[in-house]
Amino acid sequence: MSGNKVIKNLKSFSTAAERFEGSHVLCPGCAHSIIVREVLNATNDNLVVSASTGCLEVCTAIYPHTSWDCSWIHIGFENSSTAVAGAEAMNKALRKKGRIGADVPEPKFVAFGGDGATFDIGFQWLSGCFERGHDMMYICLDNEVYANTGGQRSSATPIGASATTSPAGSTSYGEKQNKKDIVQIMAAHGAPYVAQVAPNKWKDMIKKIHRGFDTKGPVYINAMSACTTEWKFAPHETIEVSDLATDSLVFPLYEIIDGTELNITYRPKNIVPVRDYLGAQPRFKHLFKPEYEYLIKEWQERVDAYWEYLQRREEARV
């Protein structure tokens, strides 16, 4: 690792100088703040950060206050990727012209967006940044819903979840579509590094963030971000629900290098049933009615099949 990468134990992490201050109004129990804090504290490099409109932005920059102790840009819902890509391109151009001296350290460029701003509204901008090969890291805070604007479904919302625009009721089990596989989509761009992380596995996350910062070119990180408000669990259960997500393999933790080499980075010692993960979130409570039990079975089969696929990819390295 380069000198500016910070490798810490949990105690030193908890006492580190903050680059993401606690003076925000994110919901108690929101995983966004855990993820962002870990990302920003993982390096001593200068950072240029952009954030799409969403929970993170509206709760961390309430004028005249800010939680960001780094260069930070708020841009539209759809284009935090292109904002930070523009800053990266400007930095490159100014250095080439000699207007930024060689003695000035290179900053790292990071964009944050929710799943609505990533999977849906901002996807074409994000795809373009990866096509052009900008030297940047994009982190999706994946809480599987448009949490900031009323809990509407996104293409990250999993089948069977009840959201305000796909509510469960007497004639519906909620969301009808399977979740978009954004990690594989971004890997298909030929990106040098793509990974999925979760805040409960912080060592795995920091290792991947370090690798992302050390990678030349566009990096995509999909961060599972449990949402106490829209997943409807108690605020103190964030890490417990996150553990269920990774240990049930609903959110498998893995990385893909150069679009082909896949490595599984966390293998649960005791894999828990998918129904335990669903049962911890009232957004899925209707699935436990007799008429919808078949969906839980289908969930389990789909998760098992995907885990087998990841293992085959890892073994084949293709």
DSSP category for residue 291: G
pLDDT at 76: 87
pTM, rounded to two decimals:
0.95
Contact indicator for 197, 221 with CB cutoff of 8 Å:
yes
Task: Tell me the mean pLDDT in the region 70-79.
Answer: 91
Predicted confidence (pLDDT) per residue in 202-231, tens digit: 999 999 999 999 999 999 999 999 999 999
Contact indicator for 237, 29 with CB cutoff of 8 Å:
yes
Average pLDDT, the chain: 93
Answer yes or no: is pLDDT of 176 > 70: yes
Rounded Cα–Cα distance for residues 54 and 59 (Å): 8
Residue 1 pLDDT class (50, 70, 90 cuts): very low
Q: Which of 316, 193, 203, 306 is nearest to 256 (CA)?
A: 193
- Provide the H-helix boundaries in 133-221: 182-187, 202-214
Rounded Cα–Cα distance for residues 225 and 173 (Å): 23
Domains of the chain: 10-316 (3.40.50.970)
Q: Which tokens hold the place of 39?
A: 């990302």
Greater confidence (160 vs 43) lies with 160
Rounded Cα–Cα distance for residues 318 and 309 (Å): 12
